[in-house]
Structures are given as C-alpha cells and as structure tokens.
A and B are shown apart, each in its own frame.
Chain A
Amino acid sequence: MIDERDLIAALRQKDPHAFATLFDAYSDKLFGLAVGLLHDEDEAEGVVQEAFLRLFEGLDKFEGRSRLGTWLYRVAYNASIDRLRKRRPTRPLADELDAGDDSLPMPAIFTDWSSAPEPLFASAEAHAELERAVARLPESLRAVFILREMEGLSTTETAEVLGINTGAVKVRLHRARLLLREHLSGYFAERVAAGGN
C-alpha cells in the first residue's frame, strides 16, 4: 500500500504520479459517500472536487495528525451536509429533529428470509431495493452506515469524519441496521412467502 508520508511529500513536490495515486485511492470513495448523502451525481462530483482542492490548498500545512483518507472524508462529509442545508434552508435536517430520540426501531416483521436461495439476493431488483433502503435512512444514520459498513472505516475513524463520539457512531450504526433489516424484510419476506423456495 501507499506510504502516506511519502505520498504527501511527493504531492508537495507537484509529482503528477502522486496526484494520480491520490486520485485513484480516494475519488471513488469520496464520491460514494457524497452520492449516498446527496443522491445527485453532479453535486457529488462537486463535493469530490472541493475535497481535493482543499487538500491542495492545505498541503503545506497538512500535519498528518489524521490520516489522509479520514481528512478527505471529513471535508467531503461537511461539504455534502452544507449542500443539503442549502437545498432546504428552512427545514432542519431529519437527524437534528430526532437527535434526542434514543428509542430503537422495533422489529415488526419476523419472517426468516436469511437463508433464501441465492438468486433472490443477486437480482437487479434486489440491488435496487438495497439502494432504496439506504436512501430512506435519515442522513446521520446513512453517513454512519456508508462509512462503517460499506466503506469499511473503523468506529474511531467514522467518529473522526463525522465529528461525533464513538458511542454515537455505535448507536447510529445499530439503528441503521435495524431500519434496513425492517425495510429489507418487507421486500424479501414477501418473495420468500411467494414460493421462491
């Protein structure tokens, strides 16, 4: 893998290979987070651009206290949230509304679809349903779920990106999982019952 200090040193020297390495390592990941939050590829592209430009501006001062990826994710996350706020300046974000609510989503569907035959999960329709389920999550839960479960960041890294504590990351991940389980249960349980077996 890339040694970060070497990469940063090479970026400071304006090494074009270092730029290509940086872009390859992080552009898709940042885009994944931004498009997951914004559901708009143009805006997500703007976020990725903003994150890299901010890094270039700050390169000389970049101290490496946090990892490069974490730093970029944080800028991309904040830029995405700014854009969400601009879209609907009069309405608070969904998660600001339920920030004080620590009740868990109660499971209501108890059909076991977990060992349904593989093709049920592999269909394009199932994939679209997975996307839809994530899109329905409140932004704060969605960001945690994307970073932890899909991008594979640790709890600590996720907390650093989002500017919250690790306890909050765990609670939000738990809520996100339960909400997604419920959503997917609605979809898969029906298909298991319809005799997919």
Chain B
Amino acid sequence: MECAELLQYLSEYIDNNLDEELTAEAQAHLATCANCKVVLDTTQQTIFLYKQQEPRKIPARRRRRLFNQLQDAFLKRPESS
C-alpha cells in the first residue's frame, strides 16, 4: 500500500471498517511511513477532541422564550379527531 491509498482508506481504517487484508496492508504501511503515522494519530486526536466537546446548548433566556412560544402553539393546536 502507498501513501495515497492509505489516505483514501484512513477513515475506514479508523472506524474499523476495512476487511482483514486491507487492515493488514494499512498496518504494514503505517509501520514504515512516519508521515502517514502522524496523519493517522493527529486525525484520531482531532476526532477525539470534537467528541469530547460539550454539546451546544441554547442560551437559557432564549431557551425559556422558545419553550413558552412553542408550548402556546402546542396547546392551541386543534384537537385531533
């Protein structure tokens, strides 16, 4: 496997979606190619940093207002038959 091919398969490799043969080829390449190893490690770290970000929340005042508006609309909707 060469660098270009490894780059192509990188996400599938990270997500464990490659078959055994391609996984072995990717590992063999990574063992000898410092640049690809760095790209792998830093891509994994990138994913990790985003995964551990606090989920975004609606700011409290905005959330309360939105809740009240929608609750009104919800309660006023015509009765289902």
User: Which A residues are within 8 Å of any B CB, using their own CB?
Assistant: 11-14, 16, 19-20, 23, 27-29, 31-32, 35-36, 41, 45, 48-49, 52-53, 56-57, 59-60, 104, 106-107, 110-115, 121, 127, 130, 134, 145, 149-151, 170, 173-174, 177-178, 180-181, 184-185
State which size class the interface on B falls in.
35 or more
Inter-subunit contact A48/B66 (CB<8 Å):
yes
Contact A177 to B62, CB < 8 A, known contacts A28-B57, A31-B56, A52-B70 = no
0 or 1 for each of B27-59: is its CB under 8 Å from A? (1 = yes): 000000011001101111111011101011111
Beta-carbon contacts under 8 Å, B1-29 to A: 7-8, 10-12
Q: Are A114 and B77 touching (Cβ within 8 A)?
A: no
B residues within 8 Å of A by Cβ? Answer: 7-8, 10-12, 34-35, 38-39, 41-47, 49-51, 53, 55-59, 62-63, 66-67, 69-71, 73-75, 77, 79-81
Tell whether A27 pairs with B66 under 8 Å between CB atoms, given A110-B38, A184-B49.
yes
Partner of A180, one of B46, B53, B67: B46
User: Inside 8 A of B8's CB, which chain A residues have their CB?
Assistant: 104
Residues of A within 8 A of B44 (CB): 114
Q: From known contacts A177-B47, A184-B49, infer whether A19 and B70 are also in contact, taking CB-CB under 8 Å.
A: yes
Q: A12-B80, A53-B70 are in contact. Are A41 and B42 (CB under 8 A)?
A: no
